[in-house]
Every structure is written in structure tokens, then in C-alpha cells.
Amino acid sequence: MNNQLQKTMDKYPSRTGEQAQIMERKDPVVHQNPEQANGPLTEDEMKSFDKNGYLLFEKLFNDDEVAIMKNELNRTMEHNQKRDADDVIKEPQSNEIRSVFEIHKDSGFFEALAKNERIVKAAEQLLASQVYLTQSRINFKPGFKGKEFYWHSDFETWHVEDGMPDMRALSCSIVLTDNYEFNGPLMLIPGSQKWYVSCPGKTPDSNYKESLKKQETGVPDNDSMSWLVNKSGERIDRATGPAGSVLFFDCNTMHGSAGNISPYARSNVFFVYNSIENKLEEPFSGQAPRPEFLANRENIKPIIPNKDRLQSFANTSKTK
Ligand code: 6CS
Ligand code: FE
């Protein structure tokens, strides 16, 4: 292991073989930097993100843009249907695609979308710095058979398995299908981002090969989950809304989703923006880092936000 990479002490130990434990978050949720203060979000929106750990913008992308995104998503899915590769994740018991990772390196549509100023400037404002992408993917939850994602904090995995030192990252989920209560929308615990659940157990080697289908390590124990829900005033929120809506959520917000037994598929594009001041180090588990397609380390540069019309990038993806 290359210890030179490990510059930072472990502020958030987890999966160290100890019992589950809840500790206070040690980083701000909304970061402050006067130079980054002038973003698109209002003061109230920033306050709401700070309090709840997420923000939903209805129809940040219009119907024409959603149609293009859906087309690109279908193209990528079709292209990857027969590709047997680590970055194409199938459902646990079928050949159905669940996620395709690292879509922002397609030299085309998704790369342009990832740099779109509507989302990047919001991420910059919340994280108070320039940002880069640490992970991206499309998620597809087919009707009738899309399986659940158990409760988890993304940060717990990114810290332990990828060496993300601080809580200074967020996810941006662009909803491409209408999300209802009944087609397995993301569920979030408001306020949970202020607490860190140190999880029991140890990380199996190459855990990602299983965890992306069904996460079993790095998930909270039942008592911690009940504590968090109780602390939120018994609230569990659902990210429902029309296609084109965008959900931003903090890297430590506890979230999960139920299976989709409705006839309606649910798909989204997922970008994870990390502060350029919070680059990945050696995993805090002491194990080998996960592959590049899950946790970007190579050639990291801040994103320059663009205003480009998405239309001009249709059909440009160089799919893998
Ligand atoms: O592994 C990851 O990076 C993401 N996937 C899962 C299933 N859990 C943690 C994180 O959201
Ligand atoms: Fe997640």
C-alpha cells in the first residue's frame, strides 16, 4: 500500500470490526467561501439543504431536454446490454442492467451534461469551491422487477473504500422518468446528514463486485436507523416529481429505495461532484482502492461549467 497518499487522519472510522456507533458530523453541510457565494441558489434553498440534506428542483430540465437525455440513456443501455464489463452492473438475479458507470467520459452527450452550468454552479455554491466528478452513472429500475437499494450513506463507502477524506461532496440525480410514490423513488431521512453511522463488520476484498448489486457491508444497523428516523421527527421523505427534476443530496444523507413492482420504469442520471479540495487518498480501510470507473483519481481537474445547449450534443457519445 502506498502510505504517502494517506495524508489525513481518519475522522470517520467505520467497518473497523467495532460495534455500530453514531457520531456527530465534523464538517459543515453547506460550506462557506465568499468567492463562491454568488451561485444560483437562494439563501432559503441553502438553508433548506443545510437542514434537510437535500434539495429537489422541479423540472430543471425541460421536456425537450428530457427526451434527448432518455434517448441517450437508451442508446447507452442498448450498447452495454451485451457488454460483459465491470462497469455494467446487472440485477442480482437476472441479466437486466441496473447501472452503467463512468458515463461522463463518453466524449459526448453525458460529458457535456456533467458540465452543465445549471447543476455545476449549484454544486460549487454548496461545496464552496470548484468541483470535479468522482463518480457518474445511469441507473435503471425496470417496472415489475427493479430491486431495492438498502439504506446507506454514500460517504461511508467513499470514505472507507475510496479514501474520500471529508464530507464535502454531493450527488446530483437527474430524474428521467416521472417519479411516483410507487415506482421505487429515492427515500431520504431529513437531517441524517448531520450524523455519521460507523458501521459494524469489515470490508470484504473486492466488495464492490457485490455491493453495487446488493449492498450488505457499510449499511447501518437497525438501532442506528431507528435513531435517525426518530431524530428526524419520524420523517422519511421521497424524491417524487416529474421527469426533468433534479435532486441534490449531501454525501452523508441516509437514503435508499424500495423495489419497483409497478409497471413503470424509473431511470436517472447520477453525477457525484466532489470539492477539488477533497481529492481521494488511500482508502481508509487500508485495502486496495476501487477501480477508476467507480472512483476517479486520474487526471483530476476542476470542471469549467458550460452553457452549451444539450441539443447540440445529441448522438455524439462514443459509448464504450
Ligand atoms: O458504491 C458506491 O459508490 C455507491 N453504491 C452503493 C450501492 N452504495 C454506496 C454508494 O452509493
Ligand atoms: Fe447511494
pLDDT, tens digit, for every residue of 239-256?
999 999 999 999 999 999
Q: Of 138, 143, 148, 135, give the one whose Cα is nearest residue 88.
A: 138
pLDDT, tens digit, for every residue of 68-102?
999 999 989 888 988 888 999 988 778 889 899 99
Q: Is-contact 219 276, C-beta < 8 A? A: no
pLDDT, tens digit, for every residue of 142-169?
899 888 999 999 999 999 999 999 999 9
Q: Is residue 36 part of a domain?
A: no
The atom of ligand 1 lying closest to the CA of 208 is: 1
Structural domain containing residue 248:
22-28+44-319
Q: Is-contact 196 128, C-beta < 8 A? A: no
Residue 35 has pLDDT above 80, yes or no: no
Share of the chain above pLDDT 90, in %: 79
Number of helical H runs and strand E runs in the chain: 7, 13
User: Phi/psi at 154 (nearest 5 deg)?
Assistant: -60, -40
* Residue 15 grid coordinates: 467497518
Element (H or E) spanning 48, and its range? helix 43-52
Helix, strand or coil, per DSSP, at residue 34: helix
- Rounded to an integer, the average pLDDT of 216-245 is 96
pLDDT number for residue 1:
46
Confidence of residue 315 (pLDDT cuts 50, 70, 90): confident
Name every residue whose Cβ is closer than 8 Å to that of residue 177 and which is 6 or more positions away in sequence: 70, 183, 243, 264, 265, 266, 267, 268
pLDDT, tens digit, for every residue of 51-73?
999 999 999 999 999 999 999 99
Q: Angle at which helices 117-127 and 43-52 pack, to 10 degrees?
A: 70
Site to probe by mutation for ligand 1, drawn from 137, 158, 209, 216 as the one with most ligand atoms within 8 Å of Cβ, is 158
* Residue 198 grid coordinates: 460507523
The atom of ligand 1 lying closest to the CA of 149 is: 7
Q: Is residue 1 part of a domain?
A: no
pLDDT number for residue 82:
83
Ligand nearest to the CA of 159: 1
pLDDT number for residue 257:
95
Q: Is residue 254 part of a domain?
A: yes
Q: Is residue 4 part of a domain?
A: no
* Residue 113 grid coordinates: 451534461
pLDDT number for residue 155:
98
Q: Is residue 264 part of a domain?
A: yes
Give the dihedral sign, CA 31/33/37/39: negative
In 142-192, at which residue ranges do the beta strands (DSSP E only) sit?
149-152, 169-175, 186-188
Q: Is residue 163 part of a domain?
A: yes
Q: Is-contact 314 72, C-beta < 8 A? A: yes
Q: Is residue 294 part of a domain?
A: yes
Residue 7 has pLDDT above 80, yes or no: no
pLDDT number for residue 87:
93
Strands 88-90 and 97-101: antiparallel
pLDDT number for residue 320:
57
pLDDT number for residue 318:
67
The atom of ligand 1 lying closest to the CA of 272 is: 3
- DSSP 3-state percent helix, strand, coil across the chain (nearest 5): 25, 20, 50
Rounded to the nearest angstrom, the gap between the alpha carbon of residue 222 and the centroid of all alpha carbons in its chain is 23
Q: Is residue 85 part of a domain?
A: yes
Ligand 1: lining residues by beta carbon, under 6 Å? 135, 149, 152, 154, 157, 211-212, 215, 294
pLDDT number for residue 107:
80
DSSP-assigned letter for residue 177: S
Confidence of residue 5 (pLDDT cuts 50, 70, 90): low
Tell me what the pLDDT averaged over the chain comes to: 93
pLDDT number for residue 316:
77
Residue 2 has pLDDT above 70, yes or no: no
The count of other CB atoms within 10 Å of the CB of residue 249 is 23
Strands 149-152 and 237-238: unpaired
* Residue 179 grid coordinates: 417519479
pLDDT, tens digit, for every residue of 284-299?
999 999 999 999 999 9
C-alpha 135 – ligand 1 centre gap (Å): 10
pLDDT, tens digit, for every residue of 256-291?
999 999 999 999 999 999 999 999 999 999 999 999
Site to probe by mutation for ligand 1, drawn from 154, 161, 253, 274 as the one with most ligand atoms within 8 Å of Cβ, is 154
Q: Is-contact 132 300, C-beta < 8 A? A: yes
Rounded to the nearest angstrom, the gap between the alpha carbon of residue 94 and the centroid of all alpha carbons in its chain is 24
As for how many domains the chain has, the answer is 1
* Residue 315 grid coordinates: 448522438
Least confident of 28-37, 202-211, 304-313: 28-37
Q: Of 186, 256, 221, 189, give the one whose Cα is nearest residue 14.
A: 221
C-alpha 312 – ligand 1 centre gap (Å): 32
Buried b (16+ CB within 10 A) or exposed e, 88-105: bbebeeeeebbbbbbbbb
Confidence of residue 36 (pLDDT cuts 50, 70, 90): low
Q: What is the CATH number of the domain that holds 197?
A: 2.60.120.620
